[in-house]
């Protein structure tokens, strides 16, 4: 049963231009216990949700009217502030799993890859990797909200 679709960025060569060196986890503290979450380290992306929403819409060239729902892209930010290990979850307005046009999803991934101001998380003096995500609320192909 296909509950959700996973894309790993490494298999989408078109996106590789955005990051020069390959993504690697580099956490030396929680190497075998990768459960650090953005909210435990005050590392939400330092732009308001409203500003991010405005910016993502400026980058979307493909906005099919039939796309309505939520796309969550969950990923890791490593100790260097780089992003990788992307997972994608898609639901419709009734909160049921669905699958939107891959071309549309790719645009959202590219947008995340272009963000370059991720906060570094610290445990004591050590830089650590952490999970974070963006959820895009979409109405007729336009992003109307971004969580968090």
Partner 1 sequence: MMFSSFAQNDSILKAKKEKYITKKHWHKFSYNSSEWQMYLDSALAIEPKYAYLWQQKSMPNFKSGKYYDGMKFLNKAVEYDTLAWLGYRGFMKCVFMKDYANAIIDLKAIYKKRPIDQTMDHSFPFWIGISYLKLGKLDSADYYLSLSVNNALLKSKEAVHYVDWFYWGLTKYKQKKYKDALSCFENAMAQNSHFPDVEYYKAMVLLQLNQNEEAKALLVQAKANIVNGYRMNEDNESYANYPYQITTFEIDEVLEKL
Judged by the rule CB under 8 A, the positions of this chain that interact with partner 1 are 3-4, 35, 37, 39-40, 42, 44, 46-51, 70, 72, 74, 89, 91, 95-97, 131, 133-135, 137, 145-148
DSSP three-state, residue 2 = coil
Residue 81 burial (CB < 10 Å; 0-12/13-18/19+)? Answer: middle
Three-state DSSP class for residue 42: coil
Q: What gap in Å lies between CA 131 and CA 121, rounded to an integer?
A: 10
Phi then psi for residue 105, to 5 deg, are -60, -40
Cβ distance to partner 1 smaller for residue 20 or 32: 32
Q: Which is nearer to partner 1, 64 or 148 (CB)?
A: 148
- Residue 9, classed as helix, strand or coil, is helix
C-beta closer to partner 1: residue 44 or 127: 44
In the DSSP assignment, the letter for residue 21 is S
CA distance 7 to 22: 16
Q: Which is nearer to partner 1, 106 or 145 (CB)?
A: 145
């Amino acid at each position: 049963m296909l509950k959700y679709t996973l894309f790993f960025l490494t298999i989408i060569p078109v996106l590789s231009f955005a990051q020069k060196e390959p993504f690697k986890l580099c956490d030396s503290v929680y190497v075998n216990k990768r459960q650090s979450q953005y909210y435990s380290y005050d590392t939400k992306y330092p732009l308001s949700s409203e500003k991010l929403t405005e910016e993502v819409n400026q980058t979307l060239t493909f906005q099919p009217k039939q796309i309505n729902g939520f796309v969550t892209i969950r990923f890791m930010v490593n100790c260097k502030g780089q992003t990788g290990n992307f997972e994608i979850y898609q639901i419709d307005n009734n909160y049921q799993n669905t699958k939107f046009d891959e071309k549309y999803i790719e645009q959202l991934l590219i947008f995340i890859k272009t963000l370059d101001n991720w906060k570094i998380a610290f445990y004591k003096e050590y830089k650590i990797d952490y999970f974070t995500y963006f959820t895009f609320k979409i109405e007729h192909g336009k992003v109307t909200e971004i969580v968090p």
